[in-house]
Amino acid sequence: MSNLANGLAAGKGASISERSDIAVTHVAARRGARAALDDAARTAFGTALPSAPRVIEAGTATIVWAGPDQWLFIEKAQAGSDPSVKLAATFQGLASVVDVSDSRTLFRLAASGPSEALIRGMGIDFEHNSFKPGDVAITHVSHLGVMVWRLPDGSGYEFACARTYARDFRDWLGKV
């Protein structure tokens, strides 16, 4: 796994790191299976899946809303145990489950509020506390598709972008 963040300077007063040793799984509900999928999620993770653009911490997994009836599950990568295989078994017949660990790069910006780059460069409203802890947005930055969420404990923001654009996005994130 690459580690793009280390060689580059972080933005002013902000600490930016690439998240490593994680497994990212995309889960999309099958048609008509949403209620049953929520039941399966309650059994496995103790919570229903978010219906609004929110991120929740559920035991060993972070569940990020990724569009209507779609989610990203972020879990710690473990040798000899593939989280996406486990998820596929948990949601057998209820959802399409795809391991996207190698196609997404995740960055974390440790900051109590939005950086200048976010406020000026993203088309969503970060000011006046309108993007609250736990909120998620799928948007773009200079034509690069990006998901952003604010950590539920308010300690920072995380971003998921396509791996091939990760260096460009990281450059942008550290600019201001």
The residue ranges that bind another protein (CB under 8 A) are 52-53, 67-68, 123-124, 137-140, 145
Which residues, 6+ apart, have CB-to-CB distance to 91 below 8 Å? 27, 37, 40, 41, 97
User: How far apart are CB 13 and another protein at their closest, in Å?
Assistant: 28
User: How far apart are CB 27 and another protein at their closest, in Å?
Assistant: 15
Chain mean position to CA 13: 23
Cβ-contact 176, 109 below 8 angstroms: no
User: How far apart are CB 54 and another protein at their closest, in Å?
Assistant: 12
* Nearer residue to another protein within complex by CB, 59 or 68: 68
* Nearer residue to another protein within complex by CB, 52 or 79: 52
* Nearer residue to another protein within complex by CB, 71 or 83: 71
- Phi, psi for 80 (deg, rounded to 5): 80, 0
- Taking Cα atoms as reference points, which of 106, 142, 109 lies closest to residue 123? 142
